Amino acid sequence: MVPFQEEHKIFKKSVSSFVEKELRPHVEEWEAQGFTPRSIWKRCGELGFLGVTYSSDYGGANADHTYSYILNLELGKCGSPGVALGLSVQCDMATPALAKHGSEFLKKTYLVPAIAGDMICSIAVTEPGHGSDVAAIDTKAVKDGNDYVINGRKMFITNGTQADFLTVLVRTTPGTGYQGMSLIIVPTKTPGVSTGKRLKKTCFPSSDTAEIILDNVRVSKDHLIGQEGKGFIYQMEQFQFERLAAVALAIGGLKRGYDLTKKYIFERQAFGQFLYKHQVTRHKMAQMISEITLLETMSFKCIQMANAGVDFTKDVSMLKLITAQTQQRIMEECVQIHGGYGLMSEYEVARYFRDAKLLGIGGGSNEIMKEIICKMEGME
């Protein structure tokens, strides 16, 4: 179990109350309409949830990564993983590089309103022909006077149809592999930025996902994050916090799925006795909570490393890999125990089971996690 301090518990209670009162009652509506309303970002900004680890100079809370973990853990229990994902993108996926490497101009113009919930943002890395192969991206940014002119396409962009700005990974020096990439902030109202149709997914329906087309998009050079040519490095740093956040969302969902299933076995009878009286069911539950607790324990190791400023690439890659595999297996067991009810969309366990596949694909697939681990173990 993660050893939360008293101040962590107070924050956890605050987020849990928000989830219970302001998210969970509405998630079925948001799943049906295919997106989460903008008002939720604004509400999270008012509550101080969108920048807990960022500097108070820009509206953040100067908190450590334990708070970010708690936020995602509790959001993951809301009953619709897509709602939680959209908010997590804002906090842990589209803005870490901006907060760490961005200029004062960029932070005041984009980070401040993102933390306040006045702007929605997206991270735009994946391309139609290049999924987890980040080093192969084609989107180009060419200098023209005081501007960059950007051309390319980005695919599977979370918050894509609602975003006010994008953190875009581009190639600024052709033919140099990962060394020639940069991160650039692109406001979505810039001429040449267009959003394709909202993508219809088999999972995460409450999270809007889109293709973004960049056609001769002109932005000033002051929209470059940090140094030109360092974008790949910045994105790899950013990925570690994205993966830790994604794991926290998944563990939150696992804990919620376990709790709902535990409640069900104390209410449902079969063959003359409650389900928990059947040894096979009890043993499944014991296996579930044991694995969830182990995932939490490894998560806290990653949190401690993040708080200490230590590289945790290998550890979070192992954690994401095992969480992705465990999540699918446990949620399948939860559905099996629920029987036919577990296949009804109004039951939360059905949604968690439906959405469990994404963690093994998004933010770096299971195969990519294995390659990272092998490389760091000297097996190239």
Active site residues: 242
Beta bridge partners, 65, equal none
Scanning the chain, the segments in alpha helix (DSSP H) are 6-18, 27-33, 38-46, 65-75, 81-88, 96-101, 104-106, 112-116, 231-267, 279-307, 313-338, 348-355, 366-376
Q: In this structure, what token pair is assigned to residue 71?
A: 């936020």
Torsion-angle region of 15 (φ positive above 0: left; ψ -120 to 50: alpha; else: beta): alpha
Burial degree of 21 (CB within 10 A; 0-12, 13-18, 19+) = exposed
Rounded CA separation 35/80 (Å): 11
User: Whole-angstrom Cα distance, residue 134 to residue 239?
Assistant: 11
**Exposed / middle / buried, residue 76 (Cβ in 10 Å: 0-12, 13-18, 19+):** buried
Fill in the DSSP letter of residue 19.
I
Handedness of CA 317, 320, 325, 330 (dihedral sign): positive
The answer to whether 187 and 165 have CB atoms below 8 angstroms apart is: yes
Residue 209 half-sphere exposure toward CB, CA atoms < 13 A: 17
Give the span between the Cα atoms of 270 and 273, in whole angstroms. Answer: 6
Write the DSSP assignment of 78-130 as a string of letters. Answer: SS-HHHHHHHHIIIIISSHHHHHH--HHHIIIIIHHHHHTSS-EEEE--BTTB
CB distance 363 to 239 below 8 Å: yes
Best CA proximity match to 190, nearest among 230, 163, 158, 226 = 163
Tokens describing residue 152: 């390319």
Closest CA to 367 of 179, 131, 138: 131
